[in-house]
């Protein structure tokens, strides 16, 4: 089911939206829907059980990593390595 949403914006904002939507080859409506979906995706999940399931699932996997002392040494040795010689 779809719902209609009416939002009032000033002319300058609408022109900006038109310009951006045109750059993406979208209608203003499609661009606004896309932007809103992205904002919703960025919102933190409120379902604690879902978060815990994700953490537990990630913890079941084994990722290759050196011992912490070695990792810290490698990190420290990398500081300043991108400076011109």
What is the reported pTM? 0.51
**pLDDT above 60: residue 83:** no
- Write phi, then psi, for 67 (nearest 5 degrees): -60, 155
Which pLDDT value is given to residue 22?
A: 97
Q: Tell me the pLDDT tens digit for each residue of 16-70.
A: 999 999 999 999 999 999 999 999 888 776 778 888 888 898 888 887 888 999 9
Residue 27 included in any domain: yes
Residue 75 included in any domain: no
Domain count along the chain: 1
Which pLDDT value is given to residue 41?
A: 85
Residue 70 included in any domain: no
Domain of 11?
Answer: 1-48
Residue 81 included in any domain: no
CB 24 within 8 A of CB 31: yes
Residue 56 included in any domain: no
Distance (Å, whole) CA 43 – CA 36: 11
Which pLDDT value is given to residue 24?
A: 96
**pLDDT above 70: residue 84:** no
Residue 59 included in any domain: no
């Amino acid at each position: 089911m779809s719902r209609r949403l009416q939002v009032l914006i000033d002319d300058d904002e609408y022109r900006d939206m038109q310009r951006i939507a045109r750059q993406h080859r979208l209608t203003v409506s499609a661009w606004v829907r896309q932007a809103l979906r992205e904002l919703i995706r960025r919102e933190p999940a409120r379902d604690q059980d879902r978060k815990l399931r994700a953490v537990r699932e990630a913890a079941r996997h084994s990722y290759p990593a050196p011992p912490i002392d070695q990792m810290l040494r490698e990190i420290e040795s990398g500081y300043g390595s991108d400076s011109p010689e």
